[in-house]
Amino acid sequence: MTRSSLEVEWEAQPDDPASDDLGYDLGDWERIRATGAESERFLYLPDDEDLLRKEAFVVAAPTAVADLLENR
């Protein structure tokens, strides 16, 4: 099976690109375990409290969250 040029280009990209290359600014988010030490549910909140007031938060099923380094 031959790899497409898109796959080759994707593999050639850096793991940690410069923020200017992304087209948006990265934000710092805090991951909080929902309930109990063994819970698989997490709440992701922005570190900037002003963003929280603007309803910037994520609600997602555990299956919707992927480690981008492992799923590159």
Distance (Å, rounded) from C-alpha 71 to C-alpha 48? 28
pTM of the complete model = 0.42
pLDDT of the residue at 69: 72
- For 65, the token pair is 């969250």
- Give Cα 24 distance to the centre of its chain: 13
pLDDT, tens digit, 9 for 90 and up, residues 4-56: 888 888 888 888 777 777 776 767 788 888 776 677 777 878 787 777 776 66
Structure tokens at 62: 């555990």
pLDDT of residue 72: 63
Half-sphere exposure of residue 68: CA atoms within 13 angstroms, side-chain side: 6
